[in-house]
Chains A and B, each alone.
Chain A
Amino acid sequence: MTSESAATADAMNSVGEACTDMKREYDQCFNRWFAEKFLKGDCSGDPCTDLFKRYQQCVQKAIKEKEIPIEGLEFMGHGKEKPESSS
């Protein structure tokens, strides 16, 4: 049993080294919203939108620089009422 298997996603690094701090700040905001609002049926007022935008811009840049083959995402960031794709 390794300690890595119990590591938290929010304590991990970003694919872009420069994005890790932004990622962790966003993750903390999201985890709080997810546990205290979303799972309790409260979808109002997502407080993490700005944090996510900054973090996402950084990650998008890192993905392009590392030529990681991501397809089919429009990097829309947080959003509501996104058109539902077939699943």
Chain B
Amino acid sequence: MRVWSSEHVFGHPWDTVIKAAMRKYPNPMNPSVVGVDVLERSVDSRGRLHSHRLLSTEWGLPGLVRAILGTSRTLTYIREHSIVDPVGKKMELCSTNITLTNWVSVSERLVYTPHPEDPGRTVLTQEAVITVKGISLGSYLESLMANTISSNAKKVLIAWGGWLPPADHTHMWPPP
């Protein structure tokens, strides 16, 4: 089992970040998403929006890893549940793979909250648990996947910069 976690601060208020997060695929674990569908959506009795989504992804695992796993399939499916609390200003996403489950389990959790000291900024905490099952090279593969996730997360967070305006508090920015 391998655990990976990270924290990132956006130079924008929570509402701005959440609007961008809902419009783009918010999972830095795997930027190679090829399809996104909403399976269910509802508002609960506490006014929080629940969304269940199905994500189709190309894992982009190195060929060696796919050979070891013994699969030529590269398209995998992930199920995601998100909860947006507009009053408490918290967005939480949990996701897990629902295919290749005989070989690997990747679960992750992302939480977006206002920065405790600055409402003009937003904190994203991410954590992922990766377990490769039933093969002797499990630890190596877990390490490889964790490094891939970390590297992908950095790339996606850099790409986020194109979605949010410059964090210049002297200028007004209209919402999208």
> A residues within 8 Å of B by Cβ?
1-2, 4-10, 12-16, 19, 23, 26-27, 30-31, 34-35, 38-41, 43, 52, 55-56, 59, 63, 68-70, 73-82, 84, 87
Q: Chain A residues near B99 (CB, 8 Å)?
A: 68-69
B41 at the interface (CB under 8 A from A): yes
Q: Are A7 and B37 in contact (CB under 8 A)?
A: no
Q: B39 within 8 Å of A by Cβ?
A: yes
| Residue interface bits B66-88, CB-to-A below 8 A is 1, else 0 | 00000000000101000110110
B 24-44 to A, binary, CB cutoff 8 A, 1 in contact else 0: 110000011111111111111
Q: Does B127 contact A (CB under 8 A)?
A: no
Distance of A35 Cα from B160 Cα, bound (Å):
18
* Contact of A70 with B19 in the complex, beta carbons under 8 Å: no
Interface size class of B (residues with CB under 8 A): 35 or more
Tell me if A's interface is mostly helix, strand, loop or mixed.
Answer: mixed
CB distance from B35 to the nearest CB of A (A): 5
Q: Is the CB–CB distance between A59 and B86 below 8 Å?
A: no
Contacts of A31 in B (CB 8 A): 19, 22-23
Q: How far is the CB of B46 from chain A (nearest CB, A)?
A: 7
Quote the shortest CB–CB distance from A36 to chain B (angstroms). Answer: 8
A73 touching B39 in the complex, CB below 8 Å, given contacts A41-B87, A82-B50: yes
The reply to whether the CB of B155 lies closer than 8 angstroms to some CB of chain A is yes
In the docked arrangement, what's the CA distance between A19 and B79, Å?
18
Cα of A56 to Cα of B57 in the assembled complex, Å: 20
Query: Is the beta-carbon distance between A73 and B33 smaller than 8 angstroms?
Result: no
* A4 x B24 contact (CB < 8 A): no
* Complex contact B31–A2 (CB within 8 A): yes
Contacts of B62 in A (CB 8 A): none
Q: Are A6 and B24 in contact (CB under 8 A)?
A: yes
Are B44 and A84 within 8 A (Cβ)?
A: yes
